[in-house]
């Protein structure tokens, strides 16, 4: 016969399980984002008429945003980041608040939403 648990013990087991699951999820996201940042998106040299160094200031006719390692979006691409002396982390704009955090803001938002659902279910089922 399986052991019977009190509602408080069930809630503790549920919280412990969800906490370990969310930590595992956050660690997986952090390791996958760290592996994705190894390559340099601006590895191809940018040449403008034979000169090796980019001309500063950069004349930008169409936006080609890149996200610098400093968390700043350089709208004119790799040449503008090179003029600023910044290393490019990835192509595309930088997310707000995504500075040097290993986990994106969307992942943390997802964890908070899951916790709210768990709390709501615990209240509805009479655990709290």
pLDDT given for residue 112 in this prediction: 85
Task: Output the six-digit token pair for 40.
Answer: 């340099």
pLDDT digits (tens, 9 = 90+) for 66-103: 998 888 889 888 888 988 888 998 898 887 754 555 56
Please state the pTM of the whole predicted model.
0.41
CATH tag for 56-96 (out of 3.30.60.30, 1.10.10.2520, 3.90.1150.10, 1.20.1250.20): 3.30.60.30
pLDDT-derived band at 57 (thresholds 50, 70, 90) equals: confident
d(CA 67, CA 47): 20
Distance from C-alpha of 35 to C-alpha of 39, rounded to nearest angstrom? 9
Structural domain boundaries of the chain?
Answer: 56-96
Q: Is the pLDDT of residue 45 over 70?
A: no
Given a cut of 50, is residue 46 above it in pLDDT?
Answer: no
pLDDT the model gives residue 66: 92
Q: What DSSP element (H or E) covers 90?
A: strand 88-91
């Amino acid at each position: 016969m399986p052991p019977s648990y009190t509602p408080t013990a069930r809630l503790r087991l549920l919280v412990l399980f969800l906490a370990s699951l969310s930590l595992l999820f956050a660690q997986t996201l952090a390791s996958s984002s760290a592996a994705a940042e190894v390559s340099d998106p601006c590895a191809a040299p940018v040449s403008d008429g034979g000169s090796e160094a980019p001309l500063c200031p950069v004349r930008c006719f169409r936006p080609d945003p890149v996200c610098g390692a400093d968390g700043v979006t350089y709208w004119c691409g790799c040449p503008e980041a090179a003029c600023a002396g910044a290393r490019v982390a990835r192509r595309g704009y930088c997310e707000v608040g995504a500075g040097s955090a290993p986990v994106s803001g969307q992942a943390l938002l997802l964890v908070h939403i899951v916790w709210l659902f768990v709390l709501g279910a615990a209240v509805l089922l009479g655990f709290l």
